[in-house]
Homo-oligomer: A and B are copies of this chain.
Amino acid sequence: MTPASQLVTAAAWSLHPQLAKDTAPVGELALSRLLAINAADYPWLVLVPRRAELSEIADLGNDALLLMREIALVSRVLKEVTQCDKLNIAAIGNVVPQLHVHIVARRKTDPLWPKPVWGAAPPRAGEREAFARFIASIHGKLGLAEENNGASFNQ
């Protein structure tokens, strides 16, 4: 029998305060919370699996496959919305240990190209309305993707 204390621990996922501070919520996928960073030059999404005390993809077990499905789904939607030249995807976590995966839309004309966005100065924020439209676009396309291919997306 599982002690109640362990059950409580297993359920106690919550978004890391630094991620909460730096992002706006987009919605909930089957495994992950989808977040957006307001970066005018690099449309920037973040997937955070709702699993407590995880910092490495390798520790996800079979949920790693679900995470990959969500990375692929969000990548397609981000590419469709932004018509970007390249997607940059990374799980780093040297500063914020809670497992999170960046999915960033890059253009050959953006200020940092071809350098990665990580380790650079904090991104320039865009106008609030533009950021809200971006989030609404991603949200809408994920809704369409659910109808088209059965991928799970619940706001």
Residue A75 contacts which of B56, B94, B97 (CB distance < 8 angstroms)? B56
| Closest Cβ neighbor of A88 among chain B residues | B92
Instruction: Sort chain A's interface into a size bin.
Output: 20 to 34
A60 to B76: give the CA distance in the assembly, Å: 11
A87 to B101, CA, bound (A): 13
Indicate whether A72 reaches chain B with its CB closer than 8 angstroms: yes
Given A67-B68, A94-B113, A114-B95, CB of A58 within 8 Å of CB of B79: yes
Chain B residues whose CB sits within 8 angstroms of the CB of A58 once the complex forms: 71-72, 75-76, 79, 87
Q: List 21 A-B contacts (CB under 8 A).
A: A55-B86, A56-B79, A56-B86, A57-B72, A57-B87, A64-B69, A64-B71, A65-B68, A65-B69, A68-B68, A86-B93, A86-B94, A86-B97, A87-B91, A88-B91, A88-B93, A89-B92, A94-B115, A95-B114, A118-B119, A119-B119
Give the B-binding residues of A (Cβ under 8 A): 55-58, 60, 64-65, 67-69, 71-72, 75-76, 79, 86-95, 97, 106, 113-116, 118-120
The 4 nearest A-B residue pairs measured at CB = A94-B114, A90-B90, A58-B75, A68-B68
